[in-house]
């Protein structure tokens, strides 16, 4: 009895319904394209974050003493001039011997009115100018030919990330170097 009911019911099925049932329904696939695009964006973000970490500032020392932003270092005085390794301190010029240590290559630059830089290699002048490229550890002399006590002189390191300033202190009547 059940077979007869079933056969009658099948005979009453519309042909359109049979055709629609025969057409395969597409399986939902995993969204690989969308997932791979998200993963690529995440990796790009991570790479940018890692590469954009700032490199540390260069270390600067004067007469073997580290230059810090907390305490200015004096430049004038007979004992300081005697320690000058690259020539004598003349009366009308300031010669500031600096040892600069950096990770990788950096640029040291002064403005036209801020003095001349000379890079030394084994106590011999290697390069002179307003802009020097320094790699690793380097000895330079920053020379200000006729310093004006009313001015502040600047040496910019690593694109201005670190600025050294020379100024005249009227209270102590001496030149000072500071970060």
Q: For residue 58, what are its two tokens?
A: 């260069």
Q: Tell me the average pLDDT across 142-167.
A: 87
Nearest Cα residue to 175 out of 66, 62, 99, 87: 62
Q: Quick one: which H or E segment has residue 59?
A: strand 59-62
**What does pTM read for this prediction?**
0.62
Task: Tell which residue, 149, 85, 93, 87, has the closest CA to residue 116.
Answer: 93
End-to-end CA distance of the chain: 102
Question: How many CA atoms, within 13 angstroms, populate the side-chain half-sphere of residue 89?
Answer: 16
Which residues have a Cβ under 8 Å from the Cβ of 123 and sit 6 or more positions away? 85, 86
Residue 25 has pLDDT above 70, yes or no: no
Consecutive H or E run containing 101: strand 94-110
Tokens 């106590």 belong to which residue?
123
Identify the H or E element spanning 60: strand 59-62
pLDDT of residue 79: 38
Residue 97 has pLDDT above 80, yes or no: yes
């Amino acid at each position: 009895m059940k077979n007869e009911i079933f056969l009658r019911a099948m005979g009453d099925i519309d042909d359109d319904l049979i055709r629609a049932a025969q057409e395969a329904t597409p399986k939902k696939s995993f969204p690989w394209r969308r997932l791979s695009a998200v993963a690529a964006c995440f990796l790009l973000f991570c790479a940018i974050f890692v590469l954009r970490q700032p490199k540390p500032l260069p270390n600067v020392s004067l007469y073997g003493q580290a230059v810090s932003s907390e305490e200015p270092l004096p430049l004038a005085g007979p004992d300081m001039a005697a320690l000058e390794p690259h020539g004598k301190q003349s009366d009308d010029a300031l010669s500031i011997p600096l040892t600069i240590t950096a990770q990788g290559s950096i640029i040291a630059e002064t403005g036209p009115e801020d003095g001349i830089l000379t890079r030394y290699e084994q106590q011999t002048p290697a390069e002179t100018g307003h802009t020097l490229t320094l790699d690793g550890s380097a000895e330079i002399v920053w020379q200000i030919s006729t310093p004006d006590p009313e001015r502040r002189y600047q040496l910019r390191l690593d694109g201005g990330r670190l600025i050294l300033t020379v100024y005249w202190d009227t209270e102590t009547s001496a030149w000072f170097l500071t970060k």
